[in-house]
Amino acid sequence: MMQTMQQVVTIAELRQHLKEARRQGKRVGLVPTMGYLHEGHLSLVNEAKKHCEIVVMSIFVNPLQFGPNEDFDRYPRDMERDLKMAASAGVDFVFSPSVGEMYPQQVKTNVSVSGVSEPLCGRSRPGHFDGVATVVLKLFQIVQPDYAFFGQKDAQQVAVVEQMVRDLSVPVTIIPCPIVREADGVAMSSRNVYLSAEERKQAAVLYRSLQLAEKKVASGADLDSVRDEMIRTIEAEPLADIDYVELLRYPDLTKPEAPEKGDRVLIALAVRFGKTRLIDNVIVTV
């Protein structure tokens, strides 16, 4: 029998449902999202269904992880569409709390992860990963999932969450899932809707530059020269405005002198097209 999906908006109600599921010995998986779902999110649900009898998707645009001049207010939202997509994908509970339900008073508690939070998006978006760590830890306390599923597109986020889980012994297994791409290689992202037709077309350069770099790094090229070549490739597109292009050891996100055999290298970039900031990455084993 097909169980109908339920939307739950309060912490108390969600806990009540999950308590019952847990009593029945069911494993609970959490797919944390900010909504405006795409194939990337659905691939997380798909993976979650392999590990868990109960899949909870949270949909919450978390103000803590947006800077004062970022796109919190205009971040795309469409709950009705999200609920349909989540139901088709086989989600059991959509947890979509209001900001007031998640943060009834001003939040005084801050969770920060030094080291991995600092380079890349941490440098461009001060406080972003504190906001991420804090809300993810709170979602873990609310849902108490056995597994949680995160997209590798946010590779640094995965590294931050994994470090936090290890440091605090949070009883959850983190499952990073591969990036899902459009036909031309552009990584699926809710923010892609911001792009004009011309920006969207030129955005294909990001994955082209990553593929190029991937080959060179795998065959032992010098990381600085690979980085230079990526920058030249991206800058050939007139609308591309580079925030960063970096090659770092994964998952500790330190800058390797020269990577050693067996090291994983994260090739990561953030590039603006007009007002829209896109990120993408690949991880290569040297």
Binding mask 112-141 for its own copies (x = CB under 8 A): xxxxx----------------xx--xx--x
Exposure class string for 152-190: b at 16+ Cβ within 10 A, else e: bbbbbbbbbbbbbbeeeebebebbbbebbbbeebbbbbb
Q: Which of 3, 4, 69, 169 binds its own copies (CB under 8 A)?
A: 169
Q: At what angle do helices 128-143 and 11-23 cross, to 10 degrees?
A: 50
Name which of 163 and 233 has its Cβ closer to its own copies: 163
To the nearest whole angstrom, how small is the minimum distance from the Cβ of residue 195 to its own copies?
35
Residue 8, CA atoms < 13 Å, CB-side half-sphere: 24
Q: Provide long-range contacts, Cβ within 8 A and 24+ apart, for 177-183.
A: 177/43, 177/44, 177/47, 177/149, 177/150, 177/151, 177/152, 178/43, 178/152, 179/40, 179/151, 179/152, 179/153, 179/280, 179/281, 180/38, 180/39, 180/40, 180/43, 180/151, 181/207
* 8 token code pair: 């739950």
Active-site residue, selected from the candidate residues 17, 41, 51, 128: 41
Q: Is 51 a catalytic residue?
A: no
Q: With contact defined as beta carbons under 8 Å apart, do 247 and 216 qualify?
A: no
To the nearest whole angstrom, how small is the minimum distance from the Cβ of residue 211 to its own copies?
32
Q: Does 142 sit near its own copies (CB under 8 A)?
A: yes
To the nearest whole angstrom, how small is the minimum distance from the Cβ of residue 104 to its own copies?
8
To the nearest whole angstrom, how small is the minimum distance from the Cβ of residue 246 to its own copies?
19
Footprint (CB under 8 A) of its own copies, residues 1-40: 11, 15
The reply, when asked if residue 99 is annotated as ligand binding, is no
Name which of 40 and 145 has its Cβ closer to its own copies: 145
Catalytic residues: 41
Which parts are annotated binding residues? 34-41, 65, 151-154, 157, 180, 188-191
Which parts are annotated binding residues for (R)-pantoate? 65, 157
Would you tell me which residues interact with its own copies (CB under 8 A)?
11, 15, 103, 105, 107-116, 133-134, 137-138, 141-142, 144, 163-164, 166-171
